[in-house]
Structure 1
Amino acid sequence: MSPATGSPARKKRPRVYDPVRTRAAVLAQFGHVREIVGGLREEQLDRPAALGEWTVRELAAHMSMAVGSLVRALREPAPGRAEVSLAQWPFATGTHAGQIADDSSRLAASAPVAELYARVADEVAQVLPGAEDDRIVATRVGAMRFGDFLVTRTVELVVHSDDLARATGLVVPFDRQALAACTRLLADALAVKAPGASTEVRIPPYAVVQCVEGPRHTRGTPPNVVETDPLTWIRLATGRTQWADAIEEAQVRASGERADLVGVLPIMG
């Protein structure tokens, strides 16, 4: 029952993503990354990426692999049914981190980065336009709808575009739709990880979610509010930025006794 109204709480419907915009966002962000990576010198590619033992070269290879996985998923036989929903995906990736890192390192050693990106761009151009969003595809974390898998690629690209920018000191543009989809998926994952309606998390202009157990607020300004910008949110959700640091540097505004999210962050690593 809803504490505020005494009526049954309605289950929130999953967020719907426009497949046309998602396709365009993935291609646009991949294009931004390809342009930056194509201009890197060997010395820049060999710099540490501040992600474990990865170099910038391995980070770049990983991003090409993340988009190339769309092609591999569409070329494999379709599984019988979906096993992983979009809301479950952020929590399913961590157990595969070691294998992902190994595969990225092998890919980086297999060919020049520019060649990897050219190959993926050609393959995606061939298979993506005709792909059906409701088709079930095999992914590393389990079978998913292709449309959902496509949304997860915006997270991979946006998060690692930010990693690439910080590792190289270069400006990597963010496609607006890719940034929006990434922000929303990670915000929705927070609501799954910490269900409730006592705290409102605002990430303008892309997302507002309610989370954390406690009294439900229905009118006026909620007593517990967290607000931040999309890039800070993405860094918090993926462990690139710590909650205490974001608060100290005024990157997050938090008010109310249930507005401390340190216990539920990060969402994914």
Structure 2
Amino acid sequence: MDVVRAAFRAECARLTGILTQLDDADLDRPTTCPPWAVRDLIAHVRTGAGRLAGMLAAPAPPRAEVDAAGYFGAAKFTPEIDAARIDAARIDAARIDAARIDAARIDAARIDAARIDAARSEAGSSTAEPSEAAWIAGGGWDGVPVGRSTLPGEFEQSWRAADAAVAAAPPERVVRTRHGDAMRLTEFLRTRVVEVGVHGLDLAVALDRPPWLTPQAAAVIADLLTGGRPAPAGLCWDRLTLIRKTTGRAALTPAERAEIDAAGFRWLAFGR
């Protein structure tokens, strides 16, 4: 659990830092997970990273039924399930974007309030009564609360809530996934490292940035993909290449496929 949780925290923290650097043009870029744009994929990752908070609040199943590798089964990625996943991410992204626009309105109002109050002060006017702009900036605009709600903020809030829930639970705790599977907490957390790490590779491609996969997450993901065995020496892959190749993010050559088949790698099914 300590190793997996450290990987989850490291990868989520790295992604949070990346998200703070993005602008609207970045968020509108297409991804290799169509029809999602960057903002949709981020919303999907946010949901996935935060799932454990709700799962740990629910009653524990009596026993585990699948492990992390079994979680990535073909049945989890039927057209119906994949369509629902796509729609959910796009709806969530739109909600977060609307909140971001409201936050920008409040920020603009705060600036106006400061200017108005500064002008009053210079003119010798009393500032005992707050200006209308100050009232708006304080949250009186159509009931919009003070504070910013952005993709980075929403993502960080979600993963930190999940991490806090994990810290408060015993590692042997069993949880039930949205697919109905019962899994040990540590095993499900491994799937969250995969979600954040592998989709981080997708985001890096969409944003034309070098991959930012952390060593901690790379180790956990590679271990899951290979069943804990080293990659065949003939492949000469580092962990990043292994993850890209075995998750379909980079094409396999015929020679590489032959090496993998001979080694008996456990392939996982990846949808979105």
| Fold match (TM-score > 0.5) | yes
CA RMSD of aligned residues (A): 2.7
| Structure 1, unpaired ranges of 5+ | 1-18, 189-205, 211-220
1:240 and 2:262 are equivalent in the alignment = no
| Structure 2, unpaired ranges of 5+ | 97-149
1:98 and 2:80 are equivalent in the alignment = no
Change (3 A) 1:209 1:236: closer
Aligned residue number for residue 136 of structure 2: none
Give 1:1-269 correspondences, 5 Å limit: 19-92=1-74, 93-95=76-78, 96-111=81-96, 112-141=150-179, 142-188=181-227, 207-208=229-230, 225-244=234-253, 258-259=258-259, 261=261, 267-269=268-270
State the distance in 2 between where 1:28 and 1:109 align: 27
Give a deviation string over 1:2-41, Cα, whole Å, max 9, x none.
Answer: xxxxxxxxxxxxxxxxx11211110110011011112100
**Greater C-alpha radius of gyration:** 2
Larger proportion of strand: 1
State the distance in 1 between where 2:269 and 2:226 align: 11
The count of corresponding residues between Structure 1 and Structure 2 is: 212
State the distance in 1 between where 2:178 and 2:188 align: 11
Change (3 A) 1:165 1:144: same
TM superposition shift of 1:128: 2.5
Change (3 A) 1:21 1:160: same
Larger proportion of helix: 2
Change (3 A) 1:36 1:77: same
Letter in 2 for 1:186: L
Letter in 2 for 1:160: H
Question: Residue 244 of structure 2: SS of its match in structure 1?
Answer: helix
State the distance in 2 between where 1:227 and 1:94 align: 31
Letter in 1 for 2:55: A
Give a deviation string over 1:227-255, Cα, whole Å, max 9, x none.
Answer: 4222222122211222128x6xxxx5x8x
TM superposition shift of 1:117: 1.5
Question: Higher relative CO (CA 8 A, sep ≥ 6), structure 1 or 2?
Answer: 2
Change (3 A) 1:178 1:54: same
TM superposition shift of 1:226: 3.8
State the distance in 2 between where 1:265 and 1:130 align: 32
State the distance in 2 between where 1:38 and 1:160 align: 17
Question: Structure 1 vs Structure 2: percent identity of aligned residues?
Answer: 31
TM-score normalised by the chain length of structure 1: 0.70
State the distance in 1 between where 2:243 and 2:211 align: 15
TM-score normalised by the chain length of structure 2: 0.69
State the distance in 1 between where 2:71 and 2:154 align: 26
State the distance in 1 between where 2:213 and 2:52 align: 20
